[in-house]
Structure 1
Amino acid sequence: MKRSLTALALVVCAISSIPALASGASAGSSPAGVSKTSAITVPLRATGPAASPAADQVCATVSGAEGCFVKYGDKFTAEDTASDGYSAVVYWTNYLWDGSSWRPYRAGGCLNSAGAGTKITCNFDFYENTSTNAYGAKGSQLAFQACTYDSPTDTVASCGAVKTAVNDG
């Protein structure tokens, strides 16, 4: 199923069970074609920023693309893993703990249009899980997914499952 990239900051392609928010995050640093839009809700930890052991990076995949969040340095990588004519893109939403619930703070993407077998890195600046955030509390999580993207038609071809990561790097 194809969907317009400009209509979504985070794309819910095959994951129709995750509802979109009516309002939400504004686009942060994002690739061309990603506009201010709504974010998606995902199952996040029910409570605030408890320390949790976690890998240095968390990855999401779909046939033709892999996207990883690298905690140290607040980076996303987007790798084009197939010669299928599509680019690889990682869409993300940053959620912050406000003292009682997780709220979407900003959303964006990391687009790799360099071709099959390439990987690019996009550097962002997210609140750390233990730092006081914009809502005056501590807690920062990211929800993201890897997708394949057709630049000429500005459409997303397919997306993988949504992954989450606590930004404790």
Structure 2
Amino acid sequence: MKMRMAAMAGVAGLTGMLALAGPAQATEATPAPKAAASGNTCLYAAGGYACFISYGDKFEVGDSKADGLRVIADWETDYGRSGECHHTGGSGTYGICNYDMREDSRVRFRVVLRDGATGPNASATAWTGWIPIG
């Protein structure tokens, strides 16, 4: 009975953590931007950058300034899908968000610097032009 109660408490804790999940978070945090050197479409802002990697439908998002702001790739497709890839790893790090987009479509994005996941934007770049996904 005690083990079953402990297991149920663990599941309840996990469920609570899942319910609090916010926008897509970058999944890696390592110190060098790879996508920028690979000929992908990149956009730079004072404090960070984002690159769209068409092979694999990914965004690389990097932080270049110790200012406490998160760097976000705010994106949308020409078929109505949109999202945000958030990186919170700190200055000198980057992360990757992996999406599954329609290969026969296009995407555009901008770099947003924000105080928190849902706070006001501190700054944002202009949108890129439409980029082929596939």
TM-score bucket (shorter structure): 0.5 to 0.7
**In 2, are the aligned partners of 1:90 and 1:147 still within 8 Å (CA)?**
yes
Could you say which residue in structure 1 is the equivalent of 2:114? Answer: 149
Select 2:68's aligned residue among 85, 93, 112: 85
Could you say which residue in structure 1 is the equivalent of 2:101? Answer: 126
User: Normalising by structure 1, what TM-score?
Assistant: 0.54
Q: 1:126 to 1:85 in 2, by over 3 A?
A: same
Cα distance, 1:159 vs. partner? 0.8
User: Normalising by structure 2, what TM-score?
Assistant: 0.68
TM alignment of 1:10-159, pairs within 5 A: 32=22, 57-96=40-79, 105-129=80-104, 140-151=105-116, 154-159=119-124
Specify the SS of the correspondent of 1:163. Answer: coil
Cα distance, 1:160 vs. partner? 1.2
Could you say which residue in structure 1 is the equivalent of 2:32? Answer: none
Specify the SS of the correspondent of 1:121. Answer: strand
Letter of the structure 2 residue corresponding to residue 167 of structure 1: I
Q: 1:33 to 1:128 in 2, by over 3 A?
A: closer
CA distance in 2, matches of 1:160, 1:123: 22
- Deviations 1:44-81 (Å, cap 9, x if unpaired)? xxxxxxxxxxx852111211010110000000011011
Unaligned runs of 5+ in 2: 1-20, 25-37
Q: 1:57 to 1:108 in 2, by over 3 A?
A: same
Query: Quick check: which has more Rg, 1 or 2?
Result: 2
Q: 1:56 to 1:107 in 2, by over 3 A?
A: same
Cα distance, 1:146 vs. partner? 0.7
Specify the SS of the correspondent of 1:116. Answer: coil
**In 2, are the aligned partners of 1:60 and 1:161 still within 8 Å (CA)?**
no
CA distance in 1, matches of 2:120, 2:62: 18
Q: Point out the structure with the larger helix share.
A: 2
What is the count of residue pairs matched by the alignment?
Answer: 100
Cα distance, 1:33 vs. partner? 5.5
CA distance in 1, matches of 2:110, 2:122: 13
